[in-house]
Structure 1
Amino acid sequence: MNHFLGLIRKTIIFTLLLSVAIVIGALYYMEYELPDIDALNTVQLQVPLQIYTQDGKLIATFGEKRRVPVPYDKIPKPLIEAVLATEDQRYFQHNGVDIQGLGRAALQLVMTGKKLQGGSTITMQVARSFYLTRHKTFGRKLREILLAIKIEHKLKKEKILELYLNKVFLGNRAYGVGAAAEVYYGKHLSELTIDQYAMLAGLPKAPSTLNPLANPEAAKKRRDHVLARMHEQGYIDDATYKKAIEAPLDASYHDLQTEVKAPYVAELVREQLEQMYGDSIYTDGFRVYTTILSRLQNIANVSVRDNLLAYDQRHGYRGASQNMGIPSIDNMDDWEKELRKIPVLNGLEPAAVVEMTTKSITVLRSNGDLTIIPWSGLSWARKQVNADYLGPRPKQPNQIVKLGDVVRIMPTTHGNYQLAQVPKAEAGLVALNPQNGAILSMVGGFDFQNSKFNRITSANRQPGSSFKPFVYSAALEKGFTLATVINDAPIVIEQADNSLWRPQNESHKFYGPTRLRTAIIESRNLVSIRLLALMGMPYTVDYLKRFGFMGSQLPPGLSLALGTALVTPLQMAQAYAIFANGGLKVVPYIIDNIRNSQDQVIYQARPLIACTKNCSKDTAVAPRVISAQNAFLITSALHDVIERGTAKRAKNIGRTDLAGKTGTTQNQVDAWFAGYSPDIVAVAWVGFDYNQSLHEYGAQAALPMWMQFIESALKGKAERMIEQPPGIVSIRIDPITGKRASANDPAALFEYFMLPHVPEKENMTEDTVPSYMEHDQASDSLY
């Protein structure tokens, strides 16, 4: 007996020592072998990149996971109660491990031989999601338990629950309850009802199969189970339970709602960020605030769309994209499905013609609605015979469409719909602040979904006459004046291939001796060519680099005077900003600041500022590239382009502080208008992606777009003329000779001059033109 008692005593001591050793070993393992969980205090959840306007409107989100982190104190109490009732009802009582839950799981395993329950607490799920795999093994379960205990010793319960609710996958790319509220209900988390909270709380069990989009019946059953648990545990009373259990399953997929349409901006910013930070931008929760102003971006969107559609309609209807056959009741469902496969492009919706009368058509839309298009929405559609000719005006719908035709429709301002078509031509518009280069709006094409090519930043096109102001600026720097007279007469130049180039004005007329101001206003090609010849190519090309143009963009012949350089609309906007701000070169930029997930500014733009007086010592002053006097004179001439020149249509805006220049390239391939006030520069371009004639000039195709934008952009702003700088004088001249006029000359008019170049008795002539022309003839390669 003594031996037996001694054996029991030794066994008990050994068991105690073994237990102590196991505990010590577990503690050692937890301390030194398990991952360090201190990082959970500052964990960086994968949050997508978000891009905003300068005034805080969402432009775009980039990233595979949708997540909207919500701090614990902002998570609604009913949602917390729903989660606890379903996932871990003793959460605030246990130390990370629920012994009862583990006991149930173990019993289930013994009885069935299957791992049907894991007995995991919320803390254990946090341990698993941050540090472990989802493979069901005993080793993983042990590590999960040990990690949960360690986490509970380091973090507060509220922090652990916050991590769980923001990390958990809830189906349809939604990670965390904040994102799930947006995906399934299109609302902020705080706006949901009890039944909707219960829906979200039931998803962690099987988010891919129990969500209301994949399996509505199973989702409702799971929701009702959560509500029942909440009722049993006293979180909701009888009335609330009854109302919630009877609520319909109103979940549906809600895509991320952007507030401003600016896809070309978003893509440009994304590319720049990827170069700066790499692929981490898609997961690190960056918020980027651009220089874009939402009001101006919305105006630019409408201006490009309206005017490109108007251009397209002026050139006739090209016909339906396809025909689906004869409509009948039996095939309407199939037609709807086919229409849903066709994307809506910039508000142009696909529809199929199902009925016609003598003055209207009825179309089936992708949502199943039948919409009547009245004759007023059809009568514009003259058939496009070819690029130069339109057919006769239609008199009834059957001359335009056939039954079964798949067409595009768009809403009108009167609440009706009209026939439309996706334009083949493209357009772009960019506006920037000439005082610091901030890009205020950018539209790079008709529809980003249809073409992701950004014509503002990437399309190298000939600017035509909109390039002439830079050539004239070079002339003023060389000593010419706006009163200098140059002969507008025929020129014949032998080119390198021995062919002859005979440039002409757009009117195909010659106007004789012409002052430079008049040549700019009327866009006289021959005067521009002779002026470039007088200055010489090397000087002019070198001078043009001041505006940001590279030598490789500038052709080495006299055609440069007509705008045969290859430039982007953004480059043109930057160059025109130099005139608008009085001669200083700012650099266009689109990212104002970048913030990390903790709302700390990690990047802040430091743009060059067009500052000429009272500049602070911290200001990065933009370099002066032309004199203020030169900029003033060019602006004065470009102001007259609007007042009485090729852009006089813009006088209808009713402002006197605008200046600009039209541009049309050879064969009307490109149409431009570049214009500005001291507050804003805007450049509009219209053309085809492949060199094809628009059959319209810049004043017809591009100017109306610019006018629509600038009129709305400057609405309510006081007029602000460019200031006349020192060193500029106004003198009466003879309008024919450009020489100083006598005080009593009734035909005299005033002209501005730089003080060093005030005309005395003689004015510059073109006596030396022939020698320059002879010098350039052999080397020029024109057109």
Structure 2
Amino acid sequence: MKKKVLSAGLVVFTTCVSLILLWAVLVLTNLPDVSILRHYRPAAAAEVIDRDGNIIAQYYDHKFRIWVPISGLPDAVIQAIVTAEDDTFFGHQGINYKATWDAFVLDVKKQRFARGGSTITQQMIKNVFLSREKTLGRKLREFILAREAEKILTKHQILEIYLNEVEWGEDIYGIEAASRYYLDKHASELTAPEAALIAGMLPNPLYFNPFKRMEKARGRQERVLFNMFQARLLTEGEYRSALASPIKLRNESSGRFVFSAIIAGNGKTCYQKVLESVLLSEYGELGLYRQGLKIRSTLDKKLQQHLTAWVDQEKVKETGKESGPYLPDSVMVVSEEGEIRAIVCSSNEEEVRFKLESLGPPFDGYDISSVFPDSISADEVVRTGGGGSQESGVKSEE
């Protein structure tokens, strides 16, 4: 009888081990090739620049991202991110085993996935290769790939991919997009308290959104700053100064960067739709929405904003509704010496002329003509500039 029990137990044990091994083989079959990370570049938005270097339009598909090299980021950004997300980052080989064990114990107690315990390397792997599903299979793949990534990439290469890939809110991806969206500045301009605010959002950027929950965001910022102080990354004076530093969030109406019209297919102003149509004919969706083009135009942001706001006001007066993202039958083109300075979604030349005259010099001397949006050819709009970047100049001279 005893032998039968032992025999049955051995069969059960062997079966369980075999099933576990089979599961592991299936999970680890067809793992992604981490070597592509050596030259990895995620999809990035195209930016249209006016003649003075101001951004007047941004086009992307699903994710708004502007790639930035880690070499252009302040030390405070790196320190805040590592302190907030993985303070052992520079000491491990992809896995923090203690944090993983602590997370496992907590998950067992809570009987759910209560804590992740993932390193920055693991998060980078998940963001690039894997889904967000919380399963043991995905976690195992994440472990293996993180270890492999650490063998072929430097810590700064891993950080660079992570900082450009991670989500910072709805449609906002990467440190540059986050800096522009929340603080109206380039990531290269972030101070220590600003970097701590941005880094503190990462556990849950929707919940810690400073536009909606500044008190919660501030609490996270203070925690990151304290940890930076404890790690001797900030002196006591710098720490206290950072705590007292006010945070100035982006103002949509007066910000440097355009965000009311960045979502592909939604929310664009009329002139941005016209410009988008022309650029699509040249670059296609892949080029315009994913390849991070910098497109220089001859448009004048100040004039364009004046005329767009005026058209919107007139539209509200006539219909009670604001103008939407549509392609009109015809537009008025305002130009100076053959270069287009603004695209006006109005067919009333007399009213456009009156508006220009009310703005005074030099706008009152500009030429006006009516054109069909689809008559503006790519040859008229786009020219190739030096250094591999793309420049667009509507009616520009070669």
Q: Structures share a fold, TM > 0.5?
A: yes
Q: Deviations over 1:91-139 (max 9, x none)?
A: 1111111111112112222333332112100000000001111111111
Counterpart residue type for residue 235 of structure 1: L
Does 1:36 find its partner at 2:33? yes
Corresponding residue for residue 161 of structure 1: 159
Pick from 69, 80, 83 the counterpart of residue 81 of structure 2: 83
Corresponding residue for residue 378 of structure 1: none
Pick from 276, 293, 296 the counterpart of residue 289 of structure 1: 296
Pick from 95, 99, 102 the counterpart of residue 101 of structure 1: 99
Tell me: CA distance 1:142–1:29, structure 2 relative to 1, closer, same or farther (3 Å). closer
Pick from 273, 276, 281 the counterpart of residue 279 of structure 2: 273
Q: What CA distance in whole angstroms lies between the structure 2 residues aligned with 1:43 and 1:454?
A: 49
- Which SS does the other structure have where 2:202 is aligned? helix
- Which SS does the other structure have where 1:79 is aligned? helix
Tell me: CA distance 1:95–1:268, structure 2 relative to 1, closer, same or farther (3 Å). same
Corresponding residue for residue 428 of structure 1: 332
Q: What CA distance in whole angstroms lies between the structure 2 residues aligned with 1:300 and 1:45?
A: 31
Pick from 291, 310, 314 the counterpart of residue 345 of structure 1: 310
- Which SS does the other structure have where 1:162 is aligned? helix
Tell me: CA distance 1:442–1:267, structure 2 relative to 1, closer, same or farther (3 Å). farther
Counterpart residue type for residue 257 of structure 2: Q
Corresponding residue for residue 56 of structure 2: 59
Q: What CA distance in whole angstroms lies between the structure 2 residues aligned with 1:212 and 1:301?
A: 27
Q: What CA distance in whole angstroms lies between the structure 2 residues aligned with 1:154 and 1:113?
A: 36
Tell me: CA distance 1:55–1:265, structure 2 relative to 1, closer, same or farther (3 Å). farther
- Which SS does the other structure have where 2:380 is aligned? coil
Structure 1 residue 40 displacement after superposition: 1.9
Counterpart residue type for residue 132 of structure 2: R
Structure 1 residue 431 displacement after superposition: 3.6
- Which SS does the other structure have where 2:101 is aligned? helix
Structure 1 residue 228 displacement after superposition: 1.5
Corresponding residue for residue 775 of structure 1: none
Higher alpha-carbon Rg: 1
Q: For 1:494-573, what aligned pairs fall within 5 Å after superposition?
A: 569-570=370-371
Counterpart residue type for residue 88 of structure 2: R
Pick from 199, 203, 206 the counterpart of residue 205 of structure 1: 203
Q: Deviations over 1:319-357 (max 9, x none)?
A: xxxxxxxxxxxxxxxxxxxxxxxx95369699xxxxxxx
Q: What CA distance in whole angstroms lies between the structure 1 residues aligned with 2:379 and 2:116?
A: 58
Pick from 175, 178, 186 the counterpart of residue 177 of structure 1: 175
Tell me: CA distance 1:190–1:349, structure 2 relative to 1, closer, same or farther (3 Å). farther
- Which SS does the other structure have where 2:57 is aligned? strand
Tell me: CA distance 1:256–1:137, structure 2 relative to 1, closer, same or farther (3 Å). farther
Q: Deviations over 1:193-215 (max 9, x none)?
A: 22211111111100001121121
8 Å CA contact retained: 2:168, 2:178 = yes
Structure 1 residue 35 displacement after superposition: 0.5
Structure 1 residue 44 displacement after superposition: 2.8
Structure 1 residue 301 displacement after superposition: 8.4
Q: What CA distance in whole angstroms lies between the structure 2 residues aligned with 1:277 and 1:42?
A: 23
Corresponding residue for residue 140 of structure 1: 138
Corresponding residue for residue 247 of structure 1: 245
Structure 1 residue 288 displacement after superposition: 2.1
Pick from 583, 586, 589 the counterpart of residue 380 of structure 2: 589
- Which SS does the other structure have where 2:126 is aligned? helix
- Which SS does the other structure have where 1:50 is aligned? strand
Structure 1 residue 604 displacement after superposition: 9.2
- Which SS does the other structure have where 1:175 is aligned? coil
Tell me: CA distance 1:208–1:441, structure 2 relative to 1, closer, same or farther (3 Å). same
Q: Which runs of 5+ in 1 are unaligned?
A: 1-17, 306-342, 351-405, 407-425, 434-438, 456-567, 575-586, 610-618, 620-783
Corresponding residue for residue 128 of structure 1: 126
Question: More deviation in 131-140 or 107-116?
Answer: 107-116
Tell me: CA distance 1:29–1:240, structure 2 relative to 1, closer, same or farther (3 Å). same
Structure 1 residue 244 displacement after superposition: 1.9
Tell me: CA distance 1:125–1:171, structure 2 relative to 1, closer, same or farther (3 Å). same
Q: What CA distance in whole angstroms lies between the structure 2 residues aligned with 1:212 and 1:282?
A: 28
Tell me: CA distance 1:429–1:600, structure 2 relative to 1, closer, same or farther (3 Å). closer
Pick from 182, 188, 193 the counterpart of residue 195 of structure 1: 193
Q: Deviations over 1:123-169 (max 9, x none)?
A: 00000001111111111100000110111112111011011111111
Q: What CA distance in whole angstroms lies between the structure 2 residues aligned with 1:454 and 1:34?
A: 60
Tell me: CA distance 1:101–1:602, structure 2 relative to 1, closer, same or farther (3 Å). same
- Which SS does the other structure have where 1:239 is aligned? helix
Q: What CA distance in whole angstroms lies between the structure 2 residues aligned with 1:593 and 1:248?
A: 43
- Which SS does the other structure have where 1:51 is aligned? strand
Structure 1 residue 432 displacement after superposition: 7.0
Corresponding residue for residue 114 of structure 1: 112
Corresponding residue for residue 47 of structure 2: 50
Q: What CA distance in whole angstroms lies between the structure 1 residues aligned with 2:313 and 2:302?
A: 17
Q: What CA distance in whole angstroms lies between the structure 2 residues aligned with 1:348 and 1:101?
A: 57
Tell me: CA distance 1:232–1:256, structure 2 relative to 1, closer, same or farther (3 Å). same
Counterpart residue type for residue 382 of structure 2: I
8 Å CA contact retained: 1:227, 1:244 = yes
Q: What CA distance in whole angstroms lies between the structure 2 residues aligned with 1:608 and 1:77?
A: 41
Counterpart residue type for residue 285 of structure 1: G
Q: Deviations over 1:626-679 (max 9, x none)?
A: xxxxxxxxxxxxxxxxxxxxxxxxxxxxxxxxxxxxxxxxxxxxxxxxxxxxxx
8 Å CA contact retained: 2:68, 2:176 = yes
Q: What CA distance in whole angstroms lies between the structure 1 residues aligned with 2:299 and 2:309?
A: 26
Counterpart residue type for residue 428 of structure 1: M
Q: How many residues in Structure 1 have an aligned counterpart in Structure 2? A: 329
TM-score, normalised relative to structure 1 = 0.37
Q: What CA distance in whole angstroms lies between the structure 1 residues aligned with 2:302 and 2:184?
A: 23
- Which SS does the other structure have where 2:205 is aligned? coil
Pick from 202, 218, 221 the counterpart of residue 219 of structure 2: 221
8 Å CA contact retained: 2:304, 2:343 = no
Identity of aligned residues (%): 27
- Which SS does the other structure have where 1:96 is aligned? coil
Q: What CA distance in whole angstroms lies between the structure 2 residues aligned with 1:608 and 1:347?
A: 28
8 Å CA contact retained: 1:105, 1:116 = yes
Tell me: CA distance 1:93–1:454, structure 2 relative to 1, closer, same or farther (3 Å). farther
Q: Deviations over 1:598-641 (max 9, x none)?
A: x6257999x999xxxxxxxxx9xxxxxxxxxxxxxxxxxxxxxx
8 Å CA contact retained: 1:195, 1:244 = yes
Q: Which runs of 5+ in 2 are unaligned?
A: 1-16, 259-268, 321-329, 350-368
Structure 1 residue 55 displacement after superposition: 5.9
Q: What CA distance in whole angstroms lies between the structure 1 residues aligned with 2:292 and 2:142?
A: 28
Q: Deviations over 1:23-61 (max 9, x none)?
A: xx98x997x721012222222322222123456443311
Counterpart residue type for residue 114 of structure 2: L
Corresponding residue for residue 418 of structure 1: none
- Which SS does the other structure have where 2:281 is aligned? helix
Q: What CA distance in whole angstroms lies between the structure 2 residues aligned with 1:168 and 1:299?
A: 36
Q: What CA distance in whole angstroms lies between the structure 2 residues aligned with 1:265 and 1:194?
A: 38
Structure 1 residue 186 displacement after superposition: 1.2
Corresponding residue for residue 691 of structure 1: none
Q: What CA distance in whole angstroms lies between the structure 1 residues aligned with 2:79 and 2:123?
A: 17
Counterpart residue type for residue 590 of structure 1: V
Q: What CA distance in whole angstroms lies between the structure 2 residues aligned with 1:37 and 1:266?
A: 38
Tell me: CA distance 1:569–1:85, structure 2 relative to 1, closer, same or farther (3 Å). closer
Q: For 1:760-775, what aligned pairs fall within 5 Å after superposition?
A: none
Q: Deviations over 1:571-603 (max 9, x none)?
A: 9xx9xxxxxxxxxxxx971212279xxx62579
Corresponding residue for residue 339 of structure 2: 440
Counterpart residue type for residue 380 of structure 2: Y
